[in-house]
């Protein structure tokens, strides 16, 4: 699905028994009984990615056959989508990636992947742009912490320099939990959020949730995540796993419906290029749901 190693869906073309007449719920229940991979994928999360690919396509087909649009069925009005550009600052950390994008799109805001190798001067330089909404520590992916002292120093510098930014996926270490004790209202979780039940089971009692449909995998579970966050008045923002084309439009549409005014990591794909060409779309994105189905309408150019 995300590697050209012979296991991608378009390469394997699995023969799946999907023909017939289904309700959407019945189709998703049937899909859960099937082996969507010929061999178990190396990365366990890929199971949910592929489930989401089928379920989101089934939702789109069902809505189009019914002549309805997702926002109409849900009774929600799509709103302009505020987005951030998510990126790292390189193996030899530099503010250049930030400056390059600010030059091209002065209003763009950022979600930055923090590294223990960031020197204090770089943290201050980045903070001085005033353009950062989220700092992602990538602390929930099981990566080895090679220098605990440097990691602790990173948190100290970030907490001081970014007093309002969301703090995503902090490391599950006692010394980090102690540092974040007064900042739980802006701690967010991404990697552990695979179901509504996971929201209350995160290492810290954080308030904020990064909702990634493809990480959750199931339409039913995704809606339960939205419902729980809404009921508990938890701030949400959206994200993806590198979706392109229709898939990118779908996560932008979901952001427009459920958490439009948030630092959504759903920037148009051009922002992911190292040196994007042409004019970059500005934030917020005007809502453009298609007249039927589950998709963003294709942009037209004069």
Same domain, yes or no, for 91 and 22? Answer: no
Same domain, yes or no, for 210 and 140? Answer: yes
Same domain, yes or no, for 110 and 244? Answer: yes
Same domain, yes or no, for 111 and 167? Answer: yes
pLDDT at residue 12 greater than cutoff 70: no
- Mind listing the pLDDT tens digit for each residue in 224-252? 999 999 999 999 999 999 898 999 999 99
Last residue of a domain, one of 28, 43, 73: 73
Same domain, yes or no, for 63 and 209? Answer: no
Last residue of a domain, one of 32, 57, 73: 73
10 pLDDT band (50/70/90 cuts)?
Answer: low
- Mind listing the pLDDT tens digit for each residue in 172-182? 999 999 999 99
Q: What are phi and psi of 77, to 5 degrees?
A: -95, 120
Q: Is residue 32 part of a domain?
A: yes
Which pLDDT does position 18 carry in this prediction? 87
- Mind listing the pLDDT tens digit for each residue in 125-167? 999 999 999 999 999 988 889 999 999 999 999 999 999 999 9
Share of the chain above pLDDT 90, in %: 76
- Mind listing the pLDDT tens digit for each residue in 34-49? 888 888 888 888 899 9
Same domain, yes or no, for 19 and 121? Answer: no
Which pLDDT does position 44 carry in this prediction? 83
Same domain, yes or no, for 141 and 53? Answer: no
Last residue of a domain, one of 56, 73, 90: 73
Q: Is residue 288 part of a domain?
A: no
Same domain, yes or no, for 256 and 117? Answer: yes
C-alpha 267/C-alpha 134 separation (Å) is 14
Q: Give yes or no for a contact between 65 and 266, defined as CB atoms under 8 angstroms apart.
A: no
Q: Is residue 302 part of a domain?
A: no
Q: Is residue 202 part of a domain?
A: yes
- Mind listing the pLDDT tens digit for each residue in 201-230? 999 999 999 999 999 999 999 999 999 999
Provide the domain count of the chain: 2
Same domain, yes or no, for 199 and 62? Answer: no
Q: Is residue 284 part of a domain?
A: no
Same domain, yes or no, for 67 and 89? Answer: no
Same domain, yes or no, for 40 and 166? Answer: no
Same domain, yes or no, for 146 and 247? Answer: yes
Q: Is residue 25 part of a domain?
A: yes
CATH of the domain at 238: 3.20.20.120
Domain that holds residue 45: 9-73
Which pLDDT does position 300 carry in this prediction? 40
Q: Is residue 106 part of a domain?
A: yes
């Amino acid at each position: 699905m995300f590697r050209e190693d012979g296991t991608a869906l378009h390469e394997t073309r699995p023969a799946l028994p999907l023909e017939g007449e289904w309700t959407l719920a019945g189709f998703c229940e049937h899909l859960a009984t099937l082996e969507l991979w010929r061999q178990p994928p190396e990365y366990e999360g890929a199971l949910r990615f592929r489930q989401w690919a089928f379920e989101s396509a089934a939702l789109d087909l069902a809505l189009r056959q019914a002549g309805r649009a997702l926002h109409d069925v849900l009774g929600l009005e799509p709103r302009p989508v505020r987005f951030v550009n998510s990126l790292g600052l390189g193996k030899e950390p530099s503010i250049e990636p930030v400056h390059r994008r600010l030059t091209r799109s002065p209003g763009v805001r950022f979600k930055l992947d923090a590294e223990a190798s960031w020197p204090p001067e770089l943290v201050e330089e980045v903070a001085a742009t005033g353009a950062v909404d989220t700092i992602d520590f990538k602390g929930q992916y099981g990566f080895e912490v090679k220098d605990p002292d440097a990691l602790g120093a990173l948190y100290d510098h970030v907490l001081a320099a970014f007093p309002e930014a969301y703090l995503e996926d902090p490391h599950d270490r006692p010394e980090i939990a102690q540092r974040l004790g007064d900042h739980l209202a802006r701690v967010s979780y991404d990697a552990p959020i695979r179901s509504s039940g996971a929201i209350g089971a995160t290492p810290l009692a954080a308030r904020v949730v990064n909702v990634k449909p493809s990480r959750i995998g199931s339409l039913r579970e995704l809606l339960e995540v939205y419902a729980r966050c809404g009921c508990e008045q938890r701030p949400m923002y959206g994200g993806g796993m590198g979706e392109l084309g229709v898939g990118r439009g779908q996560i932008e549409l979901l952001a427009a419906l459920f958490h439009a005014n948030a630092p959504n990591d759903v920037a148009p794909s051009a922002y992911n290029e190292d040196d994007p060409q042409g004019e970059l779309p500005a934030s917020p994105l005007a809502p453009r749901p298609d007249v039927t189905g589950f998709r963003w309408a294709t942009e037209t150019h004069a």
